[in-house]
Amino acid sequence: MTTSHDHPFLLTDADVLARVRELVGPAITDRQLWIMFVDGDGRQAPVVSPVSDLPPRPDALVPRLGALLAQLVPDLRTDLGRGSVVLTLERLGPDAPRPSDRDWAQALTDACIAAAVELRGVFLSTRGGVRRLL
CATH number at residue 93: 3.40.140.10
Q: CA 78 to CA 51: how far, in whole Å?
A: 27
Q: CA 33 to CA 22: how far, in whole Å?
A: 16
The pLDDT value recorded for residue 91 is 98
pTM of the entire predicted model: 0.94
The pLDDT value recorded for residue 7 is 78
Model confidence band, residue 126 (pLDDT cutoffs 50, 70, 90): very high
Give the number of domains in the chain. 1
For 29, residues 6+ apart whose C-beta sits below 8 A from its C-beta are: 52, 90, 92
User: For 76-123, what is each residue's pLDDT tens digit?
Assistant: 999 999 999 999 999 999 999 999 999 999 999 999 999 999 999 999
Beta sheet of 84-90, edge-to-edge order? 44-51, 32-38, 84-90, 118-126, 129-132
The mean of the pLDDT values for the chain is 94
The pLDDT value recorded for residue 5 is 54
User: For 40-64, what is each residue's pLDDT tens digit?
Assistant: 999 999 989 999 999 999 999 999 9
Residues spanned by the domain of 70: 4-132
| Predicted confidence (pLDDT) at residue 3 exceeds the cutoff of 70 | no
